[in-house]
Amino acid sequence: MASLRNDPTRKGQLAARKRLFGDYHRYAVAPIHTRFDAVEWFVWDAHTDDGAGRPAVIRQASSEAEAVEGLI
């Protein structure tokens, strides 16, 4: 994927579309704008939630490769 430019005014919003992966599309990964200097990659698990019915974030990393390592 091409280099993503972070926009701090969009902190918490997707910087690109989520991608599903893993057995039965269990996980989703996507880059998120941050209030800092760089986009961060988040992984969500569709089989757990945060107590409010939303998928739980299980990992955050500075690259997509690092975020999905060991899950695929």
pLDDT given at position 2 = 64
Q: What is the pTM of this model?
A: 0.88
DSSP assignment of 11-58, as one string?
TTSBSS--EEESGGG-EEEEEE--SSSS-EEEEEEEEEE-SSSSEEEE
Q: Could you tell me the two tokens for 56?
A: 């739980």
Does 41 score more than 80 pLDDT? Answer: yes
Mean pLDDT to the nearest integer, 16-34 = 96
